[in-house]
Amino acid sequence: MTKHIFSFLALGDSYTIGEAIPLYESFPYQTVQLLRKANLHFHAPEIVAKTGWTTAELAEHILHTKLNEHYDFVTLLIGVNNQYRGQSTDEYREQFSSLLQQAIKFSGGHKNHVVVLSIPDWGATPFAEGRNRQEIASQIDLFNKINKEESDKQQVRYIDITPITRKVPNDASLVAADGLHPSGKMYGEWAALLAKMIEQELK
């Protein structure tokens, strides 16, 4: 009997591709490495993400990308660029909700196999030096409140990684050399949470 090899689709932006670090240190790749160590067979993750993408740009790209009809697990992490560009929260809610419905469709309707990750707080990074960090944090919280509400509404899984990203001022090793994006070490923390959730789902 052939063993099932699980597939994993990761949708997002720079935080999904692991901007400024090697691809294998990104959270989708580290998650798969952890799952393989747990004796779960996974293909390399398929990633649809690009630095700078907003919800609208991700949605547009999905339309023009040839993807499989079905994946065993799907993650969605999107919204930081909506916040960064000062886009409206109402627009974010509508577009995020639509992306989430697509993610559920990609999972074959298995809502427990869709995981939303919260938006990191880039205001805690060296890149935000001289900006109003408190204002950035409260805006990120507002966008995360929306994606959490939509996740609950559509009954998918949710991981709040934002508190991890706020540890950067006390631990420089959590940020990449560009002073903005997470390091492989921080992604490792996200991956541990995600892998544990997936493992529990499969056992």
pLDDT at 159 exceeding the cut of 90: yes
Q: Give the pLDDT band of residue 3 (cuts 50, 70, 90).
A: confident
Residue owning tokens 């609950």: 152
pLDDT at 1 exceeding the cut of 60: no
| Among the four given CATH numbers 3.40.50.1110, 3.30.870.10, 3.30.470.10, 3.40.1390.40, the one describing domain 8-202 | 3.40.50.1110
* DSSP assignment string, 66-127: ---S--SEEEE---HHHHHTT--HHHHHHHHHHHHHHHHHHTTT-GGGEEEEPPP-GGGSGG
Task: Give the pLDDT confidence of 24-66 residue by residue, as tens digits.
Answer: 999 999 999 999 999 999 999 999 999 999 999 999 999 999 9
Task: Give the pLDDT confidence of 87-109 residue by residue, as tens digits.
Answer: 999 999 999 999 999 999 999 99
Average pLDDT value over all residues in the chain:
97
Distance, C-alpha 156 to centroid of its chain: 14
Task: Give the pLDDT confidence of 180-197 residue by residue, as tens digits.
Answer: 999 999 999 999 999 999
Q: Report domain extents, the chain.
A: 8-202
- 3 vs 77, higher pLDDT: 77
